[in-house]
Amino acid sequence: MEKLIVLVSGMLFGAGVTISGMVNPMKVLNFLDIFGPWDPTLVLVMGAGLLVTLIGYQILFKRKAPWFAPSFRLPTSQDIDAKLLGGAALFGLGWGLGGFCPGPAVASLVFGRMESITFVIAMAAGMILARQIQKLQRPKAGQISS
Amino acid sequence: MTEFTPLAGLLGGSLIGLSAVLLMGGYGRIAGASGIFAGLLTLSFNTEFGWRFIFIAGVLIGAAVSGLIFFDASSLAFNGGPLTTIAAGLLVGIGTVLGSGCTSGHGICGLSRFSTRSLAATSTFMAVAILTVFLTRHVLGA
């Protein structure tokens, strides 16, 4: 049953980033371009996504555990450090250059464009690289990433 | 130019929210695309790999099906050439691993549980992304 839930959750995510237009890098860049041909669509995407999740989480977290797993697995780290902010800044730079963040980039693969494939391969390489760097710095690193 | 599409935006955003609520309610996990995808880049095919694989398969199915009905794939437009795409992909990959999340993990799930880490990360990547677009489009004129 939990497998079906995960599958449906993934499907909703894929449909959401597609219908909202986030799979189109130009739309995302036009949203980020507040001094140019600004496309405010993503304000509504983020706003609706936040509102639904906020309300849903409030209801869910009254329970002790999810329906089909022993416990909620939430990140526990509280540190706002250079790694968090530096990583977020690098991500912002890449997002601003390409117009793709990870979810929409992966979803856009189904449209079969070479740019999507190139981006996702480069992203995977970047992730592996960053993990190797982290391993060198802190051998016991095992943080939950979201 | 891309057109302002408020209804599609609201519908799409709500679906992303439902996805996050369902994954947390059913399986107790954060619906963060970067963390889930990064979890596939491994050679140990255990349950941690398994649920992530199913989620990403779902993302592809959802995109394909909704794409047929609601989305004009010919409208897809990309920025710059292959080198820009590779640089952007590398930066997004490195940044989301070091920063422990992306638009969905920090921006939707993290903010929804009032995480100050996610607020700091989201403010940072939004600001840098806006600045990057400003510089490339209006200063460098690329």
Residue B94, domain extent: 6-139
Does A126 map to a domain?
yes
A-B contacts (CB, under 8 Å): 512
Residue-wise pLDDT tens digits, B15-74: 999 999 999 999 999 999 999 999 999 998 998 999 999 999 999 999 999 999 888 888
Q: What is the pLDDT of residue A98?
A: 97
A143 pLDDT above the threshold of 80:
no
**What is the mean pLDDT of the segment spanning A110-123?**
97
Does some domain include residue A66?
Answer: yes
Do B8 and A41 form a contact (C-beta atoms < 8 A)?
Answer: yes
Among residues 44-63 of chain A, which lie with CB inside 8 Å of chain B?
44-54, 56-57, 60-61
Task: Kindly indicate the confidence band of residue A58, based on its pLDDT and cuts at 50, 70 and 90.
Answer: very high
Q: What is the pTM of this model?
A: 0.94
- Closest C-alpha among B3, B2, B14, B7 to residue B70: B7
Per the prediction, chain B carries an average pLDDT of 95
Q: Tens digits of per-residue pLDDT, A6-51?
A: 999 999 999 999 999 999 999 999 999 999 999 999 999 999 999 9
In a domain, A143, yes or no: no
Closest Cα partner for A59 from A46, A72, A68? A72
pLDDT at A136: 87
Cβ distance of B14 and A40 shorter than 8 Å: no
Give the total number of structural domains in chain A: 1
Give the pLDDT of residue A140. 55
Owning domain of residue A83:
2-137
> Per-residue pLDDT for A110 more than 60?
yes
Tell whether A131 is within 8 A of chain B (Cβ).
yes
Structural domain includes residue A145: no
pLDDT value of residue A78: 86
Q: What does the DSSP assignment read for B41-68?
A: SSS--SHHHHHHHHHHHHHHHHHHHHHH
Q: Which residues in chain A have Cβ-Cβ distances shorter than 8 Å to B24?
A: 56-57, 60, 66, 72
Q: Identify the H or E element spanning B21.
A: helix B6-27
Residue A121 burial class via C-beta count within 10 angstroms: exposed 0-12, middle 13-18, buried 19 and up = middle
Q: Is residue A142 part of a domain?
A: no
| Contact status, residue B58 vs residue A10, Cβ threshold 8 Å | yes
**Which residues of chain B does A127 touch, with a Cβ-Cβ cutoff of 8 Å?**
34, 37-38, 41, 93-94, 96-97
According to the model, what pLDDT value does residue B117 have? 97
DSSP string, chain A: -HHHHHHHHHHHHHHHHHHTTTT-HHHHHHHH-TTSS--THHHHHHHHHHHHHHHHHHHHTTSSS-TTSSS----------HHHHHHHHHHHHHHHHHS--HHHHHHGGGGT-HHHHHHHHHHHHHHHHHHHHHHHH-TT--PPP-
- According to the model, what pLDDT value does residue B51 have? 97
Predicted confidence (pLDDT) at residue B1 exceeds the cutoff of 80? no
The answer as to whether B1 is a domain residue is: no
Q: Per the domain annotation, does B41 fall within a domain?
A: yes
- For residue A120, the chain B residues in CB contact (below 8 A) are 89
Map residue A64 onto helix, strand or coil. Answer: coil
Report the domain count for chain B. Answer: 1
Report the alpha-carbon distance of residue B12 to residue B33 in Å, rounded. Answer: 16
Check: CB of residue B8 under 8 Å from CB of residue A23.
no
The nearest CA of chain B is from the CA of A132 a distance in Å of: 10
Is B142 an 8 Å CB contact of chain A?
no
Q: Is the pLDDT of residue A142 over 90?
A: no
Q: Test A88 with B128 for CB contact under 8 angstroms.
A: yes
- Answer yes or no: is the ipTM higher than 0.90: yes
